[in-house]
Amino acid sequence: MLEGLKAWALELVKSYGQFGLFVVAFAESSFFPIPPDVLIIALVLPPTDANPFITGLVCTVGSVSGAIAGWLIGRWGGRPILDRLFHPEKVQQVEKLYDRYGVSAVLIAAFTPIPYKVFTIASGVFRLNIISFTVASVIGRGMRFFLVAYLTKWFGGWVIQRLDKAMLAVLVVVGVALGAYWIYRKRQNKLVKDKIAGS
C-alpha cells in the first residue's frame, strides 16, 4: 500500500510540480504516511532541475500549513482522536516527550524522521501554545527541507542512498544535545533551590 501511495505522490509531483509538492507536504503533516523528502529529491534532480530554494520554501510552507491543520484536528477532536489514529504505545511515548521537553519535542520531530503527524495532532490535544508550535515547526521543517533540497542540488543521487543514515545521525546528535541541556537545567535548578534553602 505504501508503495502505491509513494507512486501516487511522485506522479502528483511529476504532473503538478511545486503545487503537487505543497499538497503532499500539507497532507504528510496531519495524515499522509509518505514524507515529502523523496519528492524534493525528485524535483531538484535533473531533468526536472527545480530551484532548491523555491522547492524547500514550498515544502516548508505546505508542511507547516498542514501542521497547523493537525493542531486544529487535535484541539477539536481531543485525546480520543489521537488514540483512534495512532497506536496507544506511540501516543504514550509522545506524551512523555512533551512532559520532558515541551515545545522542543515539536522541533525534534519536525527535523528528524520521527512521524511528525503524531506530534502535530498531539500538540492540539495537549494544548501546546499555537504560536510556539508554529515557530518550532517553521524552524524544524525549514531546516530539514532546505537541507534536503540543497544536498540534492550539490551532491545529486548520492544523497538519496544516504539520506536515511544522515537523518538518523542528526537524530542522535539532537537527542544527545537535548539530553545534555536537560541535565544542565536540572543542575541549575538544584543549585538555585540549594541557595534559597541555605539563605
Q: Which three cell numbers stand for residue 42?
A: 525528485
Determine, yes or no, domain membership for 46: yes
Determine, yes or no, domain membership for 140: yes
In this prediction, residue 4 carries a pLDDT of: 62
In this prediction, residue 192 carries a pLDDT of: 56
Domain range for residue 58?
2-160
Determine, yes or no, domain membership for 119: yes
Residues in the chain: 199
Q: Which residues of the chain have pLDDT under 70?
A: 1-9, 157-186, 188-199
In this prediction, residue 86 carries a pLDDT of: 77
Determine, yes or no, domain membership for 193: no
Omega before residue 52 within 30° of 0, cis: no
Determine, yes or no, domain membership for 9: yes
33-51: b or e for each residue (b if 16 or more CB lie within 10 Å)? ebbbbbbbbbbbbeeeebe
In this prediction, residue 67 carries a pLDDT of: 94
How many domains are there within the chain?
A: 1
Determine, yes or no, domain membership for 192: no
> Is there a contact between 124 and 73 (Cβ–Cβ < 8 Å)?
yes
